[in-house]
Amino acid sequence: MDYQLELKQIVDFPRCRIYRDFIRSLVADKSIRTNGGSFLFYYIVLCSYANYRSSYRRMENITYMIGPGEWICTLSDLQTWFRCRFQHQAVSILDLLEKQNCITYSLLGNKKIVKFKITDWAKDNTVLEYNCPCKKDDGFFFFPIAKVHELISLGKCSEMDMLLDMWIHAIYNDPTVQGSFSAPVVYYRNNTGNPLTSFQSLGERWGHSKTTISRILKKFEELNFITLVSPVC
């Protein structure tokens, strides 16, 4: 994974600090597939647009009040962010996230405008004394790691969900995790401090075969997102 961005990303368990511009770059990266049965990517995208502070936004000649953890956008915007072919598919994603108690949402303006709220935003993201998290485009937000396990367990993970799962579980300079002193490593907290895992374990976690996992991880390596390290016998 990109070393400098990774260093900024990591914070103490059980929350992860994620930069908004990183998520926007993934939205634009068409080389990573988003089709799958888990919904981690979609939820993180919504979090990346959520407000830290109350503000107003004017759309179609109407001014809307947007509180912390909320945002308002067109359904067309949402369709683009989610990479859906049709707008009703984007609404279906919102329905599932609402069913999982991740968000609440409403359709406004002849159902062309979406206003959504991250359910647990106040618990994970509060208005801080410094300004960095409050920047709309290049600030960061805190993401609960428990949500990762909940969402990826819903079905087969997309390539994007696999990448985000690894990204969020990256550890750096932790004396209890082997190898993390030299570079960020993906560690799924098995209480051994050993970040090594197998294609089979990842396949069980992500709902795919070992062959598929091997192919996708090699693709990520070619895209310079990760480096695969074989164990020393």
**pLDDT at 5 exceeding the cut of 60:** no
CB-based contact 47:118 (threshold 8 Å): yes
- The pTM (predicted TM-score) of the whole model is 0.89
Q: How far does CA 89 lie from the centroid of its chain?
A: 19
Where residue 7 falls among pLDDT bands split at 50, 70, 90? very low
* Burial environment of residue 35 by CB neighbours within 10 A (0 to 12, 13 to 18, 19 or more): exposed
pLDDT digits (tens, 9 = 90+) for 85-134: 999 999 999 999 999 999 999 999 888 999 999 999 988 887 655 444 45
**Sheet with strand 113-118: strands edge to edge:** 70-74, 113-118, 103-108
| pLDDT at residue 130, as a whole number | 47
